[in-house]
Structure 1
């Protein structure tokens, strides 16, 4: 199914863990029918402990609770943590788990990177925030700047359907609890919202295509705040074309990165973009982890997808595209203040420093990156493998049953 716009939704912007965690934990605790949660990372820290408590409370209230985590991002979750969830009836799945080689995790690509929570089929949370303390200011200088949205209305049925389909791929996960008849949700607001996902099946480029449509339609302004900015040629070309036709194009990128090599790669593009009038700010207060953008005075997007090869060509991602003037203005005002008070603008002179050695690196690095997804395409991850995340003792006892279920499914 192609991305479809749904009318009559309510949307709330949640900035950082301070806004996101209280809202999502309270919603989980109030669940009475179903909780579906997908995330890249759960850490066994204070945030992870509060999540566990909320999930257990929902299960004790009679809700059917299922959690899916990435086999790379959440590889270190402890046995005690999983045992408490299992004893309460919470099912935890590991996405695409891989054996370690010499103690190192091996499933580096094709990650479950999207962050989705659906409560009773009536409200959902989508964004880029994981369940870990590094999204809270108290964590310190390495606290991440990030975003999510809470939505109610007809769009929730699309989010629920998308999440359910992934959970149904788990061995033995037969009939799912359907709490939201497709697209029959009562309207609860004025926002038009579209769910865009990226997977390795029928939606390989949906998120990128929606970005391109929005950029091509721009007449006044484009603001992109993205943690890992290294997009394909088409997106770069459309941004430059927009700037040439008089659109004010502003990029807010990492200035205090959690992975310095990513910033270095992105900086190779600065001179190429600035010469066409694109304004680039580096966010310097702390690591930028956000994946948000807006075009003109109505269109916005919030989600998990970076603008880099991993997100646009390999990972499972989810973004919500939003048409709502009030939401657009709220996000614009926030990003404008961020750029003015906590960012450093990159000048043409600064971008040109070291150009003589940056230029060949930029050319080689960019074209390697463009073909990178094809180079790793041989990895066995087009069909995701889901495995129950169990404490070691329970996993040993259940190995035979799991194997039998996988064999049965293969037949």
Structure 2
């Protein structure tokens, strides 16, 4: 049994704060890092060198200069264009920067599109954590304009933070060997347990390509199957497999209020095309589908009945469910569930249009064949791609003081 399997269990006594968009998320994270006393660990898929990335850069450098141990993990596909100066200032201050699966573009095209480190996690002093879907880029702020993203994260206190902390420390585990004296930092004290901070039960769940390939999807299915009142899913990239679709249809048919909030103005046209292939199949079972049209929707949240909710990085599409490294928190708490429900209901009422079924008759034979073929191509292509010869994704140090050396490979990320 893996270490993560052993610790993936419900923890009572947690407190969750829902953070909507960059306006709430970035100040909360930056303030937490500024007040840290021992350690900061941050994982992100995207880090851009814009006003948000530069603000993060500043607080991380200041934390490292105060003597904290600061670890930053970014994805090589999502964060490919960081300048030497940006990286050099981080590493010179003592920030331990690692890049997941960095590769040089092939004919100007990034080839490391599959098996990405898609998590967005922050842990401060082993006592406070943030988990969600918000990256460090200016397009998560409203002043970015019409392309600003709608998204969510949570701030977490309580015993489940110890689970998150153990996970991220294992993910950035330092390669063996001595470190230079000017990079020695005050180690964080052990955080084996955290005092109760609230009333929420919580489960930290991840997806990898080894022992936890379907954990997040399985918890979705369990929640949908158990629902008696409502299932609301707001997800940017919605193209799940048959089992999850089947549970949604069954829930709607037994009278559960099943709502999907999807992208109406997607950043990639294929996203809307893929989701639309499922519309008729779901609508005929009684599922209600809403398209968020105010701006791009990037959220990955859901709720069931009056207690269950989840927030994280995982979409419900082939990449997140079959290839990417993801992390969600699952929450059982009436107050948090109600808060999330109010936010989602506000989106539906003010910024969404409801999708109507096309016609009253049965689909034509051509529509059935087209949907069947396209569905399976889109649903299965990541599995087919995984059969091709491929390298093992590497975790590479970016310490400016160290000579060039072969990538340090960490299995099981």
1:291 aligns to 2:296 (yes or no): no
Q: Which residue of 2 aligns with 1:89?
A: 94
Q: How many residues align?
A: 400
Pairing 1:271–2:280 present: yes
Q: CA, structure 1 residues 17+350, in 2 after alignment: closer, same or farther (shift >3 Å)?
A: farther
Partner in structure 2 of residue 369 of structure 1: 378
**Structure 1 residue aligned with 2:252:** 243
- Which of residues 217, 230, 239 in structure 2 aligns to 1:230? 239
| 1:342 counterpart = 2:338 | no
The residue correspondences of 1:144-223 to structure 2 (distance < 5 A) are 144-168=149-173, 177=187, 179-182=189-192, 184-223=193-232
**Structure 1 length-normalised TM:** 0.92
Q: CA shift at 1:270, angstroms? A: 0.1
What corresponds to 1:259 in structure 2?
A: 268
- Contact residue 159 and residue 195 of structure 1 kept, 8 A: yes
- For the residue of structure 2 that corresponds to 1:73, the secondary structure is coil
CA contact 1:298–1:324 (8 Å) conserved in 2: yes
Over residues 278-305 of structure 1, what are the superposed CA-to-partner deviations in whole Å (9 max), with x where a residue is unaligned? Answer: 0000000000000000000000000000
Aligned with 2:17: secondary structure?
strand
Residue matched to 1:70: 75
Which has the larger displacement, 377-386 or 253-262?
377-386
For residue 326 of structure 1, what is the aligned residue in structure 2? 335
Q: Which runs of 5+ in 2 are unaligned?
A: none
Per-residue CA shift, 1:83-126, capped at 9, x if unaligned? 11111111111101123211221101000001000000000000
CA contact (8 A) 2:96 2:399 kept: no
Q: 1:108 aligns with which of 106, 109, 113?
A: 113
- Distance in structure 2 (CA, Å) of the matches to 1:350 and 1:42: 45
In the alignment, the residues of structure 1 paired with residue 341 and residue 268 of structure 2 have an alpha-carbon distance, to the nearest angstrom, of: 26
Query: What is the correspondence of 1:394-409 to structure 2 with a 5 Å cutoff?
Result: 398-399=403-404, 402-403=405-406, 406=408
Against the structure 1 CA distance between its residues 58 and 354, is the aligned structure 2 distance closer, same or farther, given a 3 Å change threshold? Answer: farther
CA distance in 1, matches of 2:154, 2:388: 33
2:121 counterpart of 1:121? no
Q: Are residue 56 (structure 1) and residue 61 (structure 2) matched?
A: yes
Relative to 1, partners in 2 of residues 1:255 and 1:173: Cα closer, same or farther, differing over 3 Å? Answer: farther
- TM-superposition CA deviations, 1:216-258 (whole Å, max 9, x none): 1100000000000000110000000101111010000000111
Point out 4+ residue stretches in structure 1 off by more than 4 angstroms.
Answer: 169-178, 350-358, 379-383
In 2, the alpha carbon distance for the partners of 1:105 and 1:300 equals: 35
Describe the SS at the equivalent of 1:269.
helix
1:157-190 Cα deviation digits (max 9, x unpaired): 11011111110165759999453433x1111111
Cα RMSD (Å): 2.3
Q: 1:342 to 1:91 in 2, by over 3 A?
A: same
Distance 1:370 1:131 in 2: 29
Shift of the alpha carbon at 1:137? 0.2
Question: Which sections of structure 1, spanning at least 5 residues, go unmatched?
Answer: none
